[in-house]
Amino acid sequence: MDILCYTLTMDENQHIWISWARTLQRWGIIEGVASFLETAGSLSVLFAQILYLSQPMLSGAVSSRSLRAFAQVLENPADRREFVSFLREAPTSGTGA
């Protein structure tokens, strides 16, 4: 049961990560965000808390699920490293992933 739950969570995260990568690529800031996430260190936890607190104000612009998922990435160093790798390997064009 835990494996199924983990698999579903990873699939959901990957879907969200693909969406984030496309948006960051469209804005032309994908490398800057990856570099920031690499160097933010313990400040990432602070940024995660700010996201949690800002959620009601940002709910019109960004989905709550996406905000929570990004806050969780910021809080977890392993997830943060994995997301940075994902961003650096993200395709620069097209819709494939």
Q: What is the DSSP string of the chain?
A: -HHHHHHHHHHHHHHHHHHHHHHHHHHT-HHHHHHHHHH-TTHHHHHHHHHHHHHHHHTTTS-HHHHHHHHHHHH-HHHHHHHHHHHHHS-SSSS--
pTM, entire model: 0.74
For 31-87, write each residue's pLDDT tens digit. Answer: 999 999 999 988 999 999 999 999 888 878 888 888 889 999 999 999 999 999 999
In this structure, of 25-29, 36-40, 46-50, 93-97, the range with the lowest mean pLDDT score is 93-97
pLDDT at 60: 80
Report pLDDT for 97: 42
